[in-house]
Amino acid sequence: MNEYDYIIVGSGIAGLYDALLAQELGSVLILTKGSIDECNTKHAQGGIAAAISNADSPELHFQDTIDAGAGLCDPEAVRILTEEAADRIADLVKYGVPFDTVNGEIALTMEAAHSVARILHAGGDATGEHIETTLSRAARSARKITIREHCLATDILVRDGSVYGVAAIDLHTGSVEEFGCRFLILATGGVGQLFKTTTNPDIATGDGVALAYRAGAEIVDIEFIQFHPTALYLPGAPRFLISEAVRGEGGILRNSRGERFMLSYTEIGDLSARDIVARSVHAEMKKTGTDHVYLDVTKLQPRVIANRFPHIYKFCLDHGLDITTSMIPVAPAAHYIMGGVRTNYWGETNINGLFASGEVACTGVHGANRLASNSLLEVLVFSKRIVERTKGGGGNTYESAGDEVHSLGSREPGSVSVPPLTLNSLQSLLWDNVGIERSGNGLEKAVTILAAWERNLQPSVDRPSYELANMVVVGRLMAEAALIREESRGAHFRSDFPKPSDAWLKHVVFRKAS
């Protein structure tokens, strides 16, 4: 077994930033199931939120984050996020991330649910790509970082409650190897591919959550999935993300009749929090009998659109749509998961030596609904804290929060018809029953079918079969959690329990039965 001080699973910003920090303390192995450049982060258009202007403060950023989280944010985690933000931005500047500037100072823009302009961006709407490229270049040239591409982690190796390594399959040869480590950091990203309609790339199959659950880690808030309200809806084109920053710059949502409609759902209008906008768009589509609405930026100057949103402008133009003169057809799509592998303020899990960073982790920052552009910041702040924690050499400081802990028990199909398991059938089941609008009946159907699929899973032999098995486990966790939470809060909406309840100011936690 090849031994490393740190093994990092995933090569997005979380994995790369962790690797660059950890190399100062020991040997590092990055395992990634695709190429190092194949990740979710590079699709992040909006930017990074940080209180770095004289008109802003960590306290103001803290309050905006708490407000967006609908009562489930961990205040201490949010305090850490907002107070350490400026230092982590400085780190990116040192690495050479080319943030956009105006008159020699970093440019800041507005996004929905932020009270002031505090969003940093690079290359207009190419922020994630610029950060990913900068850190990837640094990692490739680092002497103490080993990168194994096309190598899929299949099992976390645990002995006596502590991690001692990871098993992985070489996707070129099919051989399974084991790698030993002192510290294992999951940085595998999100779960968007569980849904029929998503802004996420093919790699976002929830692998890290499934790995952690099978190893005995706690999974929390997995029912809270953010559906982005504005994904491009063009026949023949991918569901390309139309950044929330477009509305921040003055974009207006209109229905199929060209009418502005958001003010009829909320007094804040187009700049409401994402969950509100996504549900409003969903409701307007049902009301008008259409499968999309429009985002109108035609009142903006063409040069402003081309300079501020070059990727969006070019992508739409390449698909025959000039957004400077025509409205953009959009519809909601699965985008970001607020829950995941439960961690403390140092990225530790309930398994000694196992850490989680980025979208796969649940730090408590996002609560029931992520504030726009806090995700990249969360990666930087808590990745830094993970590596700082490993310096200490002491025992695990993770403490269970005292929430009721659930496990996935057996379920009988009863009268429910169970279709054959395919990627398409899984994605359709989750989209229809665990999507923007949920109900008890739909969730019962989903968990029953998912349990049947899980019970009959065949041994995995390649990337598609491993991913599909992981997606079944994560999908069931998500559906079971949504069924347990009998209220509506943040991104979780139940038509049979349409109001929030103080009785649910708590977390739904899962851990595999021992």
Residue pLDDT tens, the chain, 514 long: 899 999 999 999 999 999 999 999 999 999 999 988 765 555 555 689 999 999 999 999 999 999 999 999 999 999 999 999 999 999 999 999 999 999 999 999 988 889 999 999 998 888 888 898 899 999 999 999 999 999 999 999 999 999 999 999 999 999 999 999 999 999 999 999 999 999 999 999 999 999 999 999 999 999 999 999 999 999 889 999 998 889 989 999 999 999 999 999 999 999 888 889 999 999 999 999 999 999 999 999 999 999 999 999 999 999 999 999 999 999 999 999 999 999 999 999 999 999 999 999 999 999 999 998 999 999 999 999 999 999 977 678 999 888 999 999 989 888 899 999 999 999 999 999 999 999 999 999 999 999 999 999 999 999 999 999 999 999 999 999 999 999 999 999 999 999 999 999 999 999 999 8
| Distance from C-alpha of 155 to C-alpha of 125, rounded to nearest angstrom | 36
Distances (CA, A) of 34 to 170, 204, 334, 379: 11, 11, 22, 20
* pLDDT for 63: 98
Of the candidates 468, 470, 461, 469, the residue with the CA atom closest to the CA atom of residue 171 = 461
What amino acid is encoded at 419 in this protein?
A: P
Catalytic residue among 88, 148, 247, 274: 274
* pLDDT for 111: 85
* pLDDT for 501: 98
What angle is formed at CA 171 by the lines to CA 170 and CA 172, rounded to 5 degrees?
Answer: 95
Mean pLDDT value across the chain = 95
* pLDDT for 118: 96
* pLDDT for 113: 86
* pLDDT for 38: 67
Domains in the chain, ordered, with CATH? 230-333 (3.90.700.10), 405-510 (1.20.58.100)
pLDDT digits (tens, 9 = 90+) for 28-43: 999 999 988 765 555 5
- 8 A C-beta contact, residue 511 and residue 218: yes
* pLDDT for 402: 85
* pLDDT for 33: 97
* pLDDT for 395: 79
3-state percent helix, strand, coil for the chain, nearest multiple of 5: 35, 20, 45
pLDDT digits (tens, 9 = 90+) for 102-159: 999 999 998 888 999 999 999 888 888 889 889 999 999 999 999 999 999 999 999 9
* pTM, rounded to two decimals: 0.95
- 8 A C-beta contact, residue 212 and residue 205: no
| Distance from C-alpha of 311 to C-alpha of 166, rounded to nearest angstrom | 38
Q: List the beta bridge partners of residue 254.
A: 260, 294
For residue 342, indicate whether it is catalytic: no
* pLDDT for 221: 98
* pLDDT for 364: 98
- 8 A C-beta contact, residue 46 and residue 127: yes
Long-range contacts of 376-379 (CB under 8 A, 24+ apart): 376/13, 376/41, 376/44, 376/47, 376/48, 376/127, 376/128, 376/131, 377/48, 377/49, 377/50, 377/81, 377/85, 377/88, 378/81, 379/12, 379/13, 379/14, 379/17, 379/41
* pLDDT for 514: 80
Q: Which residues contact 500 (CB under 8 A, 6 or more apart)?
A: 70, 71, 487, 488, 489
Q: Element (H or E) spanning 248, and its range?
A: helix 244-248
